[in-house]
Each structure stands twice: as structure tokens, then as C-alpha cells.
Amino acid sequence: MSPPAKDVSRRGFLAALKPQNVALAVAGSTVWAYVTGESRASVPARRPPGARDESAFLASCIKCSQCVEACPYDTLQVATAGDGEAIGVPYFEPRKVPCYMCPDTPCIAACPTDALLPDTPIEEAEMGLAVLVDQENCLAYKGLRCEVCYRACPLIGRAIGLEFRPNERTGKHALFIPVVNSDACTGCGRCEHACVLEEAAIKVLSVEQARGKLGENYRFGWLEDAEISPDFEAPMAAPDLPQWRDGLERVLEQMDDLSGIEEP
Amino acid sequence: MTWFWTHHYLLARRTTQLGVLVLFWLGAHWHLGVLTGNLSSSRVLRTVPLADPYAVLQILATGQVLGSTVLLGAAIVLGFWFVTGGRGFCAWVCPVNPVTDLAAWLRPQLGVRWGVRRGLRVDRSVRYWIMFLALPVSAITGVAAFEWLSPIAMTHRELIYGPGLGLLAVAGIFVLDLFVLRPGWCGSLCPLGAFYSLVGRWSLLRVRFDPERCDHCGDCIRVCPEPQIIRYDEMERSGFIDSGNCLNCARCLEVCPRDAYHFAPRFGGDAVGSPEEGSP
């Protein structure tokens, strides 16, 4: 009788652990890892509300497209092969369809893996960040009364405000410059969608692209809560105060001595 | 009628494969809530979660903490295929199966002329290697490694969200199965098939074999997508096809002229779908 098939395959599996095969497996995995790494889109996309940080989002999204199905405005799209986005992962293009910021966030509710963090209030979403990327073509910078992005913003006055500046070309008018407050902006893209130019001057970039990062060493004296904290360690020790006082007293004594000298 | 009786399981399988696709398509485009999502994760009637347990394993390997919904979904799917036979997924649901079946059907007809009848063989352990290696590769790259390249997910997605470049993957598998590998993608390479083969080693519903009826005509071996698993000597001893590679596709059941096969639980019990006379 031949041994059961299970044993044959198990023995075959152990026999396959030859150095040559292990090397093949390592080489194959390396190529695999490389291809997988390359298949991530180079430019991070605009993600659904509540999405984890881009790398955590790409890892935890199971690519089931349930958020896409749940979106009542067909804002969310599935990236298929050749779209230039990470394949199968949801994204949106605000110039085509922006996010209308449903208060009940059906997309987040649909997510089975919590790649879209549950119970994220829509006004705290960071789908991206609006940036007025093209000041040369923005009508407001030309002195025209446009403000369409400002009025389209669902958080008008909070996420996009207007800043008045003198119009130096005419010398007597004002420029109404739209200014994004990055703390309030959710990246919904209503501004980019509404921009009247042929190509939008205000665009929603991914948060990773749009945000700078301040070094830890900066302290701003004009901000009340920006005092040097008790655990701040200065790189050089400051001079000891008693020594200063001694020195000061010595100088004052000398000045007293000098005061006794009559002027010529 | 005879053609129907030798193909009724095949027709049922094509119906479930197409039915699953149609329900997902209607879910995505008409918002019919019977099945929403896709084969990676979905909900039935917008409530019962389902998830691909192998995909969930890969995501866990990246170190991410996952929501309970997807974990419950993976447990439900794992439990379902544990009962109904691991690679039942391959035979009854997977959209790649009709493609590789078509290639397998065409191969002998084209193969004789083009001299590729036998085909290249890959060691059967390779797909297990791919299955296991997906986990460290997921940990290194930080994304679910097989899911990112899976031709199964790609086929499914392209069929639902409009054909794109992803159908090239399907074409690639078709050519591979037709001209190069035998057994092809499903039996030699697919890590999801390997995963379900592992489940199938212990799954409950199996194809039982009645040696009294069998006259060793070999019709079953000719239609079986994994013909190496039909070994009369072993089946006479164990009473069923004892292999995780069995797809429960039931081709052997329907072509057997003497009804030697029927579905039954692994451990005794009455036959399911057995002929009226019952088994001795």
C-alpha cells in the first residue's frame, strides 16, 4: 500500500527546503516586494473621510469598495489598473465630484476594517487640504471679485476666509484674497470643484503633500502658550546668577568710590 | 436530457459564479443591497459581513489593527468553507475558474496540434510557498502582498467597475493555462487556492466513493481538474476523496456512469445527493 497522500505532500514540502529552493524563494520574495512597493502610486491621493494616515490606510484597506458603494454622490471611485492610483483603493477627484460631507458619513459606516476610522466627525475629516496653488491665474489676485471658492466652501469663513489687501495696480481698490485655514479645511474639494477657471487655481492636495512641518526647536515668544517649558534644556549653560550679582556689586562699589572724586 | 444530467452540477457552478458577479454588479451600480462589496469583503443584505480570511491574514501581517466587522466576516467565510469544502470557493465562486476551465477544455484540442499537450509542471508545493511568503512580504512592504497583485481581485474588480488593464491579468492566466502550465494557475500557483486547500484538508463535506459501484472506467479522472487526487486504491480504503485539493466541483459525480460518487460528510452520515437506492 502506498502511504496516504497527505504524508507524501508533507514529505515533499520538507524535501523542498533545499538551499537552492530557499534561495529561489528569497529571490522571488524580493522581486515580489519590489513590484508591490512600485505598485503604490507615487503621489498620495485624496482619500475618503476618516482615512488613517496614508501608509496605514494602504495597509488596512481590504479594497472591498463598500465605501464607494455607500457614497450617495458617487464621489468615491475605485482605482482600477491603469488609473495611475493604487489599484482597488478608494479615492476621489474633487474637480469631477467633490465630497458633500454627509453628517452621517455612510462611507465610514460601510468600512469593515476601520481603515476609515469609525466615528470620525465629518468636520474633522482630513481628506486632503485645499491650497491656492496658482496665484498667477487666480481671479482674486487679478483684482476681480470672484470669491467663488470662498462661497462654495461648506465651512465658509472658517476653512476659507477672505483677506483684504490693497490693489496696487489701481491704487484705490482692494483684492479679496481667499485664504485657507488648514486647521478647519476637511479637503472636501467643493472649492476646487467650483473654481471658475478652466483648470482650478485652488486644488485639494493630499495632506502629506500640502503640509510642512515645523522643527521642534521653535518657540514663538508672541504666543502665550509657547513659553519655554520647564524640561527645556539649553544647549549651553547660562552664567550663574550669584557671580553676576557679585560682579554688579563690585562695579557699584567702584562707582561709589568714583563718586568721591571731585571733578576738575 | 442525458447531457443535462452529466452537466447539471457544472451548470449550477456557472450559475453561482455568474450569480455572485451579477449580485455584486447590481450592488455597485443599482445599489441593490443583496451583496455589496466584492470578494475581498462584503455584506449580505447590508448586515452579515463576509471577508476573505487570507486577505485578512495578510493585512494582520502588516501590523495593522483591524475592525471587528472584517474579523467576524473572515470567521464566517472560513467556517462556511470549512463545512462545505475548502476549495469549494475555487469551483463555485472564483471568477478565474471559468477562464482556467476554458483553457483546460481547449488545451487538448489545440495542444495536440501545437505540441503543448503535456505542459510544463511546477512542483505542487510552490503555491504553498507563495501562500506563506505573502505574509513576510506583507510585513516588509506594509501592504497585503498578494491582494495588491491578485488576478482574482483584479478580474472581479474589472468586471464590476468596467474593463481596464486588469483584464490583461486574466488574459495572462488564460495563455499560461492554455500553453504553458498544467495544472495551470489554479492548481500550481494560486496562493488563495493553496489556502483553501489547507482548509479542505479538514472540511466536512467531501466526495464519497462507493467501490462496489465503480468499474474503474476512468471517466472521473478525465474530467477532474486535479486528476492526481482520484486514486482508486486509496479511495477504496478511506471511502472518499481525501485531499484538500478537491474542489467539490462535482464533475466526477455527474459524469460517473455508475453513480459511484456522492456528496457526504467526511464522518459517516447519510449521503447527500446520492441515488434513490442509497448506498450499501
Residue A25 lies in a domain: no
Nearest CA in chain A to B67: A113
d(CA B131, CA B189) in angstroms, rounded, equals 9
User: Do the Cβ atoms of A80 and B234 come within 8 Å?
Assistant: no
Contacts of residue B239, Cβ cutoff 8 Å, sequence gap at least 6: B208, B209
Nearest CA in chain B to A26: B133
Q: Which of A123, A141, A173 is the last residue of a domain?
A: A123
Asked if residue A97 lies in contact with residue A193, where contact means CB atoms within 8 angstroms, the answer is yes
Both A140 and A110 in one domain: the answer is no
- How far does A139 lie from chain B, in Å, by closest CA? 38
Whether B37 sits inside 8 A of A65 (CB atoms) is: yes
> What pLDDT was estimated at residue A18?
75
| Residue A254 touches partner B, C-beta closer than 8 Å | no
**CB of B214 closer than 8 Å to CB of B258:** yes
Query: Which candidate in A53, A66, A120 is best for mutational testing of the B interface (most B CBs within 10 A)?
Result: A66
Report B:235-264 residues touching A (Cβ under 8 A): 237-238, 242-243
Cα first-last separation, chain B: 27
Answer whether B62 touches A (CB < 8 Å). yes
Do the Cβ atoms of B123 and A16 come within 8 Å? yes
Q: B71 falls in which pLDDT band (50, 70, 90)?
A: very high
CB contact under 8 A, B165 and A113: no
Per-residue pLDDT tens for B164-222?
Answer: 777 888 888 998 888 888 778 998 899 999 999 999 988 999 999 999 999 999 999 98
Q: What are the phi and psi torsion angles at B43 (to 5°)?
A: -130, 140
Least Cα separation, residue A58 to chain B (angstroms): 6
pLDDT in tens, chain A (264 residues): 344 444 455 566 666 677 777 888 888 888 888 777 776 666 678 899 999 998 899 999 999 999 999 999 999 998 877 777 788 899 999 999 999 999 999 999 999 999 999 989 999 999 999 999 999 999 999 999 999 999 999 999 999 999 999 999 999 999 999 999 999 999 999 999 999 999 999 999 998 889 898 888 887 777 766 555 666 666 666 656 666 777 777 877 877 776 666 655
Residue B145 contacts A, CB cutoff 8 Å: yes
pLDDT at B121 > cutoff 90: no
**A57, A67, A113, A116: which to substitute to probe chain B, counting the most B Cβ within 10 Å?**
A113
Interface test with B, best of A1, A26, A65 (most B CBs within 10 A): A65
B48 to chain A, any CB pair closer than 8 A? The answer is no
Of B55, B148, B162, the CB nearest to A36: B148
Residue of B nearest to A62 (CA): B40
Residue A92 sits in which domain range?
41-123
Characterize the bridge pairing of strands B48-51 and B35-37: unpaired
- Of B90-104, B139-153, B261-275, give the lowest mean pLDDT range: B261-275
User: Does the residue A207 lie in any domain?
Assistant: yes
Place of cell 441515488: B275
How many CB pairs lie under 8 A apart between chains A and B? 159
Residue A16 lies in a domain: no
Considering only the beta carbons, identify the residue of B38, B41, B234 that sits closest to A5.
B234
Minimal Cβ distance to B125: which of A4, A13, A39: A13
For A114, other C-beta atoms within 10 Å of its C-beta total 18
Q: Which fold has domain B204-265?
A: Alpha-Beta Plaits (3.30.70)
**CB–CB contact A62 B40 (8 Å):** yes
For residues B84-108, one letter each, b for 16 or more C-beta atoms within 10 angstroms of the residue's C-beta and e for the rest, the string is bbbbbbbbbbbbbbebbbebbeebe
- Mean pLDDT score across all residues of chain B: 87
Query: What local confidence, expressed as pLDDT, does residue B117 receive?
Result: 60
For residue A117, tell me if it sits in a domain.
yes
Contact call for residues A179 and A161 (beta carbons, < 8 A)? yes
| Boundary of a domain, candidates A106, A123, A140 | A123
Does residue A197 share a domain with residue A159? Answer: yes
Q: Are residues A137 and A111 in the same domain?
A: no
Same domain, A182 and A159: yes
Contacts of B43 in chain A (CB under 8 A): 66, 110, 112
Chain A neighbors of B65, CB-CB under 8 A: 60, 114
Q: How far apart are CA B152 and CA B17, in angstroms?
A: 13
The count of domains in chain A is 2
In angstroms, rounded to a whole number, what is the distance separating the alpha carbons of residues B76 and B5?
32
Gap between the Cα atoms of A126 and A48, Å rounded: 9
Beta carbons of B81 and B196 less than 8 angstroms apart: yes
CATH no. for residue A116? 3.30.70
A96 vs A189, A191, B157, B171, CA distance in Å?
Answer: 10, 12, 21, 32
Q: What local confidence, expressed as pLDDT, does residue B279 receive?
A: 40
Q: Are residues A114 and A162 in the same domain?
A: no
A84 and B CB contact within 8 Å: no
Instruction: From A196, A211, A226, give the residue that closes a domain.
Output: A211
A171 CA: distance to closest CA in chain B (Å): 55
> In sequence order, what are the residues at sequence separation of 6 or more whose Cβ sits closer than 8 angstroms to the Cβ of residue B209?
B235, B236, B239, B240, B241, B260, B261
Assigned domain for A22 exists:
no
The answer to whether A248 contacts chain B (CB < 8 Å) is no
Domain presence at residue A237 = no
The residue with greater pLDDT, B161 or A10, is B161
- What confidence tier does B273 reach under pLDDT thresholds 50, 70, 90? very low
Which residues 74-103 in chain B show a CB within 8 A of chain A? none
Rounded to 10 deg, the angle between the B126-141 and A19-38 helix axes is 50
Chain B closest CA to A222's CA: distance in Å? 41
Residue A61 lies in a domain: yes
CA distance B1 to chain A (A): 37
Q: Do A5 and B165 touch (CB under 8 A)?
A: no
Residue % of chain B over a pLDDT of 90 = 54
Domain assignment of residue A204, yes or no: yes
A56 touches B at CB < 8 Å = yes
Q: B277 to chain A nearest CA, in Å?
A: 31
pLDDT at residue A106 in the model: 96
Would you list the domain boundaries of chain B? 1-203, 204-265
B-chain residues within 8 Å CB-CB of A64?
37-38, 40-42, 51
CA dist., res. B98 & res. B101, Å (int) = 5
Spatial CA neighbour of B84 closest among B269, B264, B271 = B264
Please indicate whether, in this complex, the C-beta atoms of B65 and A114 are within 8 angstroms of each other. Answer: yes
Residue of B141, B150, B189, B201 to mutate, interface with A, max A Cβ within 10 Å: B141
The answer to whether residues A132 and A202 belong to one domain is yes
